[in-house]
């Protein structure tokens, strides 16, 4: 079993963003059923965010309500929370004042029902030295026992090398999927391996595209944020579906769903020489999808080689994020 912040977690984690950050969130009853199913399946690394929704209903509010109903579950999962945006917005503010504000609000929203095991700034704010932002978190929150530790999010290798000289970095959350293999080549995975830092791999399903459920552009709801992502734009969509078709073919041969193949590929990458521990955190809003996503699938060397060959011939169309959103901070 992999370890995060000194605690054992399952090999596949759980992204909570989809519960609260959408135009029409699912019911709390549906969310609670999915969350309970996750724990039954050993999916106990949960990843949420202060900015995942509005202040009145974000990941922390949902978690507090869940733990009010199921207080016995508080010690059953490891919680990592992203924050650091200016209050009520999405722009990152690395000032000491906002670091305190963000952490205090996150802690307050949980109402004492659960301790945050890891807190991470969603992006590094270039306007403030990391020593300042991380220093406040370390001295005023980690060392006083208010939170468990510090992780990093959406960072480049240079940032990791610098951050480990300032604080103990317990995890690094970055994007990794069959569509987004950048960290395997840009030094991020190598840096994490060097310092024995686990990678929390977000969007292992390519924001849902690798599930095979999205067949045409009009399958994307008009109010979905996906329509703002370049890889889902009309001019890029059909090109990217070519990879999905190949993943579906490989999955069919394996007797698994395309999503299961994609999620477990991220796990299996960690077994290669020079790789750190990698824990994918697919999101899901139904118990059935949690069941599907949590299935462990072992891929043979031959199957991994087939996927390598597929990826070598394919270049994703479009950037990972819309213009103006910071990446590799």
Which active-site residues does the annotation give? 52
Angle at which helices 96-109 and 130-137 cross, to 10°: 30
CA gap 303, 300 in Å, rounded:
5
Q: How many residues does the chain have?
A: 329
Q: What is the token pair recorded at 13?
A: 């984690």
> 122 forms bridges with which residues in the sheet?
none
HEC string for the chain = CCEECCEECCCCCEECHHHHCCCCCCCHHHHHHHHHHHHHCCCCEEEEECCCCECCECHHHHHHHHHHHCHHHHHHCEEEEEECECCCCCCECCCHHHHHHHHHHHHHHCCCCCCCCEEEECCCCCCCCHHHHHHHHHHHHHCCCCCCCEEEECCCHHHHHHHCCCCCEEEEEEECCCCCCHHHCCCHHHHHHHCCCCEEEECCCCCCHHHCCCCCHHHCCCCCHHHHCHHHCHHHHHHHHHHHHHHHHHHHHHCCCHHHHHHHHHHHHCCCCCCCCEEECCECCCHHHHHHHCCCCCCCHHHHHHHHHHHHCCCCCCCCCCCCCCCCC
Q: Which residue bears the tokens 């309500």? A: 65
């Amino acid at each position: 079993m992999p370890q995060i912040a000194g605690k054992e977690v399952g090999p596949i984690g759980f992204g909570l963003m989809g519960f609260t950050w959408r135009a029409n969130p699912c019911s709390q009853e549906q969310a609670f059923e999915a969350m309970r199913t996750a724990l039954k399946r050993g999916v106990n690394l949960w990843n949420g965010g202060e900015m995942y929704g509005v202040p009145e209903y974000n990941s922390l509010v949902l978690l507090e309500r869940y733990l009010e109903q199921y207080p016995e579950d508080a010690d059953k999962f490891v919680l990592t929370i992203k924050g650091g945006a200016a209050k009520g917005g999405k722009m990152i503010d690395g000032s000491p004042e906002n670091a305190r504000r963000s952490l205090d609000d996150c802690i307050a929203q949980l109402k004492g029902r659960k301790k945050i095991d890891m807190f991470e700034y969603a992006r590094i704010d270039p306007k403030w030295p990391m020593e300042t932002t991380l220093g406040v978190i370390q001295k005023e929150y980690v060392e006083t026992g208010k939170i468990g530790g510090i992780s990093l999010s959406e960072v480049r290798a240079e940032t990791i090398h610098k951050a480990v000289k300032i604080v103990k970095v317990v995890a690094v959350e970055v994007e990794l999927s069959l569509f987004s293999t950048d960290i395997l080549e840009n030094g991020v995975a190598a840096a994490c391996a060097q310092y024995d830092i686990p990678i929390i791999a977000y969007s292992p399903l390519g924001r849902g595209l690798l599930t095979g459920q999205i067949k045409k552009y009009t399958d994307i709801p008009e109010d979905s944020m996906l329509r703002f992502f370049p890889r889902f734009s009309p001019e890029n969509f059909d090109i990217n579906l070519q990879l999905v078709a190949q993943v579906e073919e490989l999955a069919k041969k394996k007797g698994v769903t395309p999503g299961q193949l994609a999620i477990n590929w991220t796990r299996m990458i960690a077994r290669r020489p020079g790789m750190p521990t990698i824990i994918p955190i697919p999101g899901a809003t139904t118990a059935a999808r949690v069941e599907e996503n949590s299935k462990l699938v072992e891929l043979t060397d031959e199957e991994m080689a087939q996927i390598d060959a597929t990826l070598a011939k394919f270049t994703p169309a479009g950037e990972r994020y819309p213009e103006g959103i910071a990446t590799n901070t």
